[in-house]
Chains A and B, each alone.
Chain A
Amino acid sequence: MALSLAIRDLDAGYGAVKALRGVSLHVESGETVALLGTNGNGKSTLMKCVAGLVRPERGSLILTIDGTAHDLTKLSAEAIVDLGVAMVPEGRRLFPKLTVLENLMLGAFRKAARQNIDRNLALAFETFPALKGLQKQLAGTMSGGQQQMLAIARALMSSPRLLLIDEPSVGLSPLLVSQTITKIGELNRHLGLTVLMAEQNFNQTIRIADRGYIIVHGEIVVAADSVDELRGNDIVKRLYLGGIV
């Protein structure tokens, strides 16, 4: 099951506001790729472009699965889910008035996913055992950490191969951030999921990332082939590590 994502020269924005300028990025099968950047630099827009929620103005988004190339710019959000791309949106975006179980069921909305509901539900509870006892609770009444678990579990319900995770650390305590990131690392290793993760938390992210990009004002300014390369980078030192350059 080879899968790769290639983004080339992507421009996107909202009306007159340009959020992405000439972004190029690639994710290979089985990798965990980090997209680092502080608030308002275009991380979420890039993730939304891949998920089909924002239409890019220019450039290409090609998802190659087992040798077949799919142009994501021409597909609807639901068709992209069908290809095995699942998004964990920023701020979790659960269905607050629905129960945990109903939230999970909606993760399996697509026809193909409905056939694997039992298997994926078991997998979701195996991955996040804490959710099992909360099935009837309303998602809106759960703690931040539980909500993040549910958001990731919901994404797992569609049998994804590529997981897009947008800022999983937002609004969580340091301990929960660490646990969440560790969990994402496990999903990558144990389930063979390819992961593209947008994050602000540099130190936590590089624990599980294979490589990373840094995005500033809608442009990729650093494309590092390893975590060490990221750590040694001047821009990283200035932006994240408090170094004086």
Chain B
Amino acid sequence: MKRNGMYFWGGAALFLAGALLMTQVIGNQYPFFACYVILQFIVLAVAWSILGGYAGYVNFGTSAFFGVGVYTAVFLFKATGVPLAVQIAAAAAVGALMGFALGLLTLRMQGIFFSIATIAATIIIETAITNWRYVGGASGIQLQRPAVMAPFDNYVEMLFFVQAVMVVLAVAISRYIQNSWIGRGLQALKDDELAAECTGVPTLRLKLTACVISGALMCAAGAPAAMYLQYADPASAFNLNYSVSALAMSLIGGTAHWAGPVIGAILLGVTQQLLTVTISSEVNVLVLGVMLVLFVVAAPEGIVGLIRKVRSKRNEGEG
């Protein structure tokens, strides 16, 4: 276990160092634009998986959290001009509160009812933002990026690095949960909620905890998006695509292990970026759908499940 932890943190440090090096070496802006989106999806998928994967509560409200993150940042930037780090922290706090409220209202519902409630939440919040003039209403809002901080010489490069830090944070949290009693409790209630209660698992509290953490991470992931595009509007900030992508990436990667959503997000994120450049941004939604269907049919446990199957087969072969 200890050794695993060392490898993990070593890998995380290497990843961040690599990201930082990239910003110093590569002059072309495009890789940062593309990689930012992939990193953002890694955070969303990992966050989704904390509730949707570990606890088995399928959340269709990723876009609600993402959009609230975007608009928390927009509001704070317009009202006070606070720096990016504060915007992200505030978005995380708002996301946690929102997760708590949504969880309290909906987590007593099981299965499909919870999922429907989360879609409803997305629509309600989007409507509210659309009617809020201060942050631009339905027509959206243009934002002027402030001066970039050293050692970065370009704002997108900085956003890219910030999102990379969030990936490490999200993965570390998800990994911690998986290996802790919280993870075991979530796994138990996913398998059989009544049995979990019988053994003393505080099911509602654990589900709320998962919802709060998941919500905070999703909102945080959305916070830099307005600065990334220099523009925000409700239709794109609350786009259902975020919900579908986060879910698809987690399921394709596999939800049994923290690495699943990371693998899924990289695989789908890279594919989407390639398709957007080579064909069109509309095709990537189609590809997402096709891949999801293929995986649900051929590998319902995702890539992580496939790897495990191959490994156990090999072990049997040796034994």
**Count of A-B contacts judged by CB separation below 8 Å:** 68
Per the bound structure, the CA–CA distance linking A78 and B199 in Å amounts to 8
Q: Which residue of A lies closest to B198 (CB)?
A: A87
Instruction: Let me know if A109 and B201 touch, CB within 8 A.
Output: yes
Q: Which residue of A lies closest to B189 (CB)?
A: A95
Instruction: Let me know if B199 and A94 touch, CB within 8 A.
Output: no
Q: Which residue of A lies closest to B200 (CB)?
A: A81
Q: Which residue of A lies closest to B191 (CB)?
A: A95
Question: Which residues of B, 164-222, contact A by the 8 Å Cβ criterion?
Answer: 181, 184-185, 187-188, 191-192, 194-202
Residue in A53, A96, A105 whose CB lies within 8 Å of B184: A105
Instruction: Let me know if A93 and B200 touch, CB within 8 A.
Output: no
Q: Which residue of B lies closest to A85 (CB)?
A: B200
**A114 interface residue (CB < 8 Å to B):** yes
**A154 interface residue (CB < 8 Å to B):** yes
Per the bound structure, the CA–CA distance linking A87 and B198 in Å amounts to 6
Please name all residues of chain B whose beta carbon is closer than 8 Å to the beta carbon of A81 when the two chains form the complex. Answer: 198-200
Contact of A94 with B201 at beta-carbon distance under 8 Å, contacts A109-B184, A114-B181 already known: no
Please name all residues of chain B whose beta carbon is closer than 8 Å to the beta carbon of A102 when the two chains form the complex. Answer: 184, 187
Per the bound structure, the CA–CA distance linking A96 and B194 in Å amounts to 13
**A205 interface residue (CB < 8 Å to B):** no
Residue in A76, A97, A107 whose CB lies within 8 Å of B199: A107
Please name all residues of chain B whose beta carbon is closer than 8 Å to the beta carbon of A93 when the two chains form the complex. Answer: 192, 194-195, 198
Distance in angstroms from B221 CB to nearest chain A CB is: 30
Instruction: Let me know if A94 and B195 touch, CB within 8 A.
Output: yes
**A106 interface residue (CB < 8 Å to B):** yes
Instruction: Let me know if A98 and B188 touch, CB within 8 A.
Output: yes
**Secondary structure of the B contact surface, majority rule:** helix
Q: Which residue of B lies closest to A104 (CB)?
A: B199
**A200 interface residue (CB < 8 Å to B):** no
Instruction: Let me know if A94 and B188 touch, CB within 8 A.
Output: no
**A148 interface residue (CB < 8 Å to B):** no
Per the bound structure, the CA–CA distance linking A146 and B195 in Å amounts to 17
Contact of A51 with B198 at beta-carbon distance under 8 Å, contacts A95-B188, A109-B185 already known: yes
Distance in angstroms from A222 CB to nearest chain B CB is: 28
Contact of A89 with B195 at beta-carbon distance under 8 Å, contacts A78-B202, A109-B201, A158-B200 already known: yes
Per the bound structure, the CA–CA distance linking A106 and B202 in Å amounts to 12
Instruction: Let me know if B199 and A158 touch, CB within 8 A.
Output: yes
**A77 interface residue (CB < 8 Å to B):** yes
Please name all residues of chain A whose beta carbon is closer than 8 Å to the beta carbon of B188 when the two chains form the complex. Answer: 95, 98, 106, 109
Binding site for B on A (CB under 8 A): 51, 53, 76-78, 81-82, 86-89, 93-98, 102, 105-107, 109-110, 113-114, 154-155, 157-158
Supplied contacts A98-B188, A106-B201, 12 more A-B pairs, CB within 8 Å: A51-B197, A51-B198, A76-B202, A77-B197, A86-B198, A93-B192, A94-B192, A98-B187, A102-B187, A107-B199, A109-B181, A155-B198
7 contacts between A and B (CB under 8 A): A86-B199, A87-B198, A94-B192, A105-B184, A109-B199, A114-B181, A155-B199
Binding site for A on B (CB under 8 A): 181, 184-185, 187-188, 191-192, 194-202
